[in-house]
Structure 1
C-alpha cells in the first residue's frame, strides 16, 4: 500500500497504525435498534457459531419447517405447543413490531426474551453481509474496565444474567425450552473476550481520563445485572436494552470526539507545535466532559456534526501516516495511548519539513473536497453513523399505529405526530427507571435529584438541574413514583430507588 493507493480508496485503505488504534470505531456502525443490539449481544456472548448473516436464513428455514409441520400436524420432540400455536407465538404474541417500510415483508422478528430467539430474528439486515453490533458491546466492556481480569469477570456475569435459570419467571423458562425444541439448539455457552479482539485503554489513561462513557456503561451494566432476580424477564431485558442503547451511542460519539481532537494535535504538530508529552496529550485529546445531547433539545444534528468531524479526522490522520511511510520515516508512535500519540506527534514535528515538501496538507484538502458528500454525512460511513444513532436512540416507529407504544425505553422521541417532526431528547419511562436505578445503585435511601443529572452527564447528556422539576423528565419521575418532593432538599426533589426491597409490596 502507498499514499497514492490511499488517495484512490481513502475509506477502504486505512493505515495499519490507524487500524490497530484503541480508538478506531470498529465495527463500523450501521442500522440497529435496541432489540437488534440485545439479540446481537446474545449471539456475541453465547453462540460461537452464529453470525449476523446467518440469522435471516435461519428465520426463513424455521418458517418453512413450521409450515411443513402445520400441514402434517406434527411437532418436534420436547415441544409443548403444536405448530399452529407456535406460529401464533412467533407472528403474533411475541412478534416485535415492524418498521413502516417493512409492513409488506415477511420475516420473523421476535422480541428477544430468550437467547434462542437471536438465532432466527433481529439481524441488522435481511440480506447481504450485516455488521455485528454485539462487537461494540464487547469493546465497551473491555474499554470501560481497568484490566483484563475485570473485563472477563463482567463479561462472564453478563453471560450468567442472560442465561435462563431458576431465577427467571415461569414464562421465560417455558419459552426457553420451547425455543430449544423448535430450533434444536443447545449451543449456548460463554464466548469469552479474546486477547487482541477488543480495544483496551492503557491503565494510566483509563485511571486518568475523567469522562469515559464506556466506564459509565460498565458500571451501569453491573447495576442492571444485580437487579435481575427482582424482575420478570421482560422487565429486566427492557432495562438492559435502555442501558445498551444509550451506552452504545455515547461510546461512538466519544470515539468521534477523540478522533477530532487527535487530528487537531497531529495537525498542530505539522505546524511545529502540538503536545510535548503524554500529560499534554491526555489534556488535549480526552475531553473532561461533553455535551453530546441536551435534554429537551434536538439531538441528531449534534451527532451529525460529530460524525462529520470524525470522518475529517480519519482522512487527516491516515493522510499523515501514509505520508510518513512515503517519506521513509519509521513509525515509532501509535494511536492507542497518550504516550503513543505524544511519540507520533514528535515524529511529525521532526519530519514536518519533509512532510510539507510532499504537500501532505494539500493532499488532505484534495481528499476532503473529493469526499465532500461523505463528510457531510449524505452517504456512506457518515450517513450510516447517523442512522445508527437515530434508530438506536429513537422510539420505534411501527407499521401498525396501535403498536406505537411498544417501545418505552427510548432516549429520543418525535416532537410531534408529523413524519418530519424533529427528534428531541426525552427519556421514555423504562429508560428513566433504568437511569434512576443505576444512579442510585449501591446506595441506601433517597438522594438529590442532582445525582441523576450527574449520572446522565457521564454519557454526554446535558440536563439542566433547575429545569427537572418543570420539564417532562420531572413529570415522568413523579408518575413513576421515583421522587419525593421535599422543601428541605436543595432541589426540592429527592430520588427514590425504584427497586429497593422496601418499595415492594409483599406477595
Structure 2
C-alpha cells in the first residue's frame, strides 16, 4: 500500500480523485494542485468571498454577489464538520463538481496530506485485466466526473460560478499515471479469486451508466458509496494477501516447499465484515497481521542483502513470490538466525504492531472514517451521510459500531448486483455481490433482518413465494441498460 492510507472520508476520496485524474486551468496556466496547497487555497477563497461581501462587489463573470456566494459555500454546499472541528474555520465543501476540489477536500489542514485519489487509481489498475482496459476505465471516469451540457442546470451553474470566483477550472486534461504509480497484475493472475478491486472496476461501469438518470447530487452520492465500500475492502484484501505471502516465506525458511503460491496468496473467498456485527476487532487483527507480515518480509529481504543474495524482484505477482521463496530456501543456512531477529524486532515495535501508532493507527483511522456514518457537530445535519457501511447500534455514545449499510449504500449494491442481468434475481444475488466486497450476510436471513426492512422501504424488492427467501430484487434504475455479461473479466 503506497502511499499508506490515513485519515479520509468519502468526500475526501472523491475530491482527491478530482485532483489525481486531471489538472486545472488556473488563471491560464495548466497545473496540478497538490494536496498540501488545498487548505491554503481554501483560506484564500474564503477571504476573497468575505472581502467582496463586505465591499458589495463580485468578480467579472460571476452571477452571485459576495453575500450570496458566502451563503452558497457556508450553507448550501458546506459538508458537516466533525464534533472536534466545530471551532475551526475552514471551507469543507461537498465535491459536486471538480472546481470545488481546487480549494476543499484535503485529508488534513496542514502538513503534507496523503493523496487519497491515488488509492482509487491503484484499484483501477489492479482490478483491470490489462493496461489498455485500465486506461479505458480511467478515461471513462474522467469524462463522467466532468460537467457537460446534459448535466442538470445546478451542476452547470456551480461549475461556472466557482470558476469565476476561484479562477481555477477543472478538467484541463486527463492525467496518465507513471508506470511505477500504477501497474496491472499479469493477465489471469486473479482468475477465480476474490478481488474487491476487480469488482470495483465492474461496478464503476454500472455507476457511470446510471449518471444520466439522476441529478448530479444523487450520482455523486452513489459514486461516494461505491468508493468507500471498495477502498476499505481493497485495503483489507491487501492485508490478507500480505499475510499469506509471509506464510509462504515462513514455510521456505523452515525448509518446506510452499504449495501452489498463487492458490495460497490470493483468497477464493474474502470476508472482513459480518452484517449486524461489530467489526473493529476484526479490522485491528487484519491490520496487525499485515504489519507483522511487512516486518517479517523486510527482515528476510535485509537478511538476504546482508549475505550477498539480494532479491531484485518486485513481489508484484505470484511468480515473484515464488522466486522469493526459492531464494529463501536456497539460503536457509545464511538466514538461520532470522527467527530471533524477527522476534526482537516484534518486541521493539509492539505498539506499532498493536496499531497504537504509525501505519497501523493510520490504517485503522482510514477504515473507521470511511466506513462510519459521519458524526457531525451540528445535530440538525445528523442525517447528511446516507452512504455509510457502519453505524452506531443506538443513540448512546458508548454504543458499538455495527455493519448495517445505509440507504444509499444498499441502493448502490442492488443496482450493481443487477447491472449485468436482464431478468429478475433473488436476494441471494445481493448477498453474493456484498461478499465480493468482504461483507458477509446470510441471504436466508435477509427477509427478517434490518437489510430486508431497508430493501422494502426503498422499494427494491418484491415479495414472491417462488423466490429464494421469498424476495425478488427490483432494479432501482430500470432505464439504465444492463452492462453486457462478460464485458469485463
TM-score by length of 1: 0.91
Q: Return the alpha-carbon distance in structure 1 between the equivalents of residues 91 and 32 of structure 2.
A: 20
Does 2:159 match 1:183?
no
Corresponding residue of 2:52: 69
Residues 209, 480 of structure 2: 8 Å contact kept: no
Q: Return the alpha-carbon distance in structure 1 between the equivalents of residues 312 and 76 of structure 2.
A: 58
Corresponding residue of 1:198: 182
Corresponding residue of 1:40: 16
* Residue 258 of structure 2, aligned match among 247, 260, 275: 275
CA drift at 1:422: 1.1
Q: Return the alpha-carbon distance in structure 1 between the equivalents of residues 450 and 364 of structure 2.
A: 26
Does 2:7 match 1:31?
yes
- SS of 2:296's equivalent? helix
Q: Between 43-52 and 212-221, report the one with greater CA deviation.
A: 43-52
Moved beyond 6 Å, runs of 4+: none
CA drift at 1:209: 4.7
- SS of 1:386's equivalent? helix
- SS of 1:288's equivalent? coil
Corresponding residue of 2:463: 485
Does 2:416 match 1:423?
no
Corresponding residue of 1:21: none
Q: Return the alpha-carbon distance in structure 1 between the equivalents of residues 420 and 264 of structure 2.
A: 33
141 and 502 in structure 1: CA distance in 2 versus 1, 3 angstrom threshold: closer
Residues 332, 347 of structure 1: 8 Å contact kept: no
Residues 98, 170 of structure 2: 8 Å contact kept: no
Q: Return the alpha-carbon distance in structure 2 between the equivalents of residues 420 and 229 of structure 1.
A: 42
Offset from partner CA, 1:371-403 (integer Å, 9 cap, x none):
001100111111111110000011000001111
* Residue 131 of structure 1, aligned match among 106, 114, 122: 114
CA drift at 1:438: 0.4
Corresponding residue of 1:247: 230
Does 2:439 match 1:461?
yes
Corresponding residue of 1:19: none
Residues 101, 399 of structure 1: 8 Å contact kept: yes
Does 2:202 match 1:219?
yes
Number of matched residues? 473
Corresponding residue of 2:420: 442
* Residue 245 of structure 2, aligned match among 262, 270, 275: 262
Corresponding residue of 1:345: 325
Q: Return the alpha-carbon distance in structure 1 between the equivalents of residues 281 and 227 of structure 2.
A: 21
Gaps of 5+ in 2: 24-30, 482-489
348 and 137 in structure 1: CA distance in 2 versus 1, 3 angstrom threshold: same
Corresponding residue of 1:14: none
Corresponding residue of 2:363: 385
Q: Return the alpha-carbon distance in structure 2 between the equivalents of residues 300 and 140 of structure 1.
A: 23
CA drift at 1:502: 9.6
Corresponding residue of 1:498: 476
334 and 171 in structure 1: CA distance in 2 versus 1, 3 angstrom threshold: closer
Q: Return the alpha-carbon distance in structure 1 between the equivalents of residues 139 and 344 of structure 2.
A: 48
TM-score by length of 2: 0.95
CA drift at 1:133: 0.6
Residues 300, 389 of structure 1: 8 Å contact kept: no
Q: Return the alpha-carbon distance in structure 2 between the equivalents of residues 231 and 109 of structure 1.
A: 24
* Residue 302 of structure 1, aligned match among 256, 263, 282: 282
How much is the aligned-residue C-alpha RMSD, in angstroms? 1.3
Gaps of 5+ in 1: 1-24
Q: Return the alpha-carbon distance in structure 2 between the equivalents of residues 351 and 333 of structure 1.
A: 16
Corresponding residue of 1:320: 300
Q: Between 409-418 and 154-163, report the one with greater CA deviation.
A: 409-418
CA drift at 1:146: 0.3
CA drift at 1:418: 2.1
Q: Return the alpha-carbon distance in structure 1 between the equivalents of residues 479 and 311 of structure 2.
A: 57
Corresponding residue of 1:398: 376
CA drift at 1:442: 2.8
247 and 70 in structure 1: CA distance in 2 versus 1, 3 angstrom threshold: same
Offset from partner CA, 1:73-93 (integer Å, 9 cap, x none):
111111100011000110111
Residues 308, 377 of structure 1: 8 Å contact kept: yes
Q: Return the alpha-carbon distance in structure 2 between the equivalents of residues 455 and 128 of structure 1.
A: 39
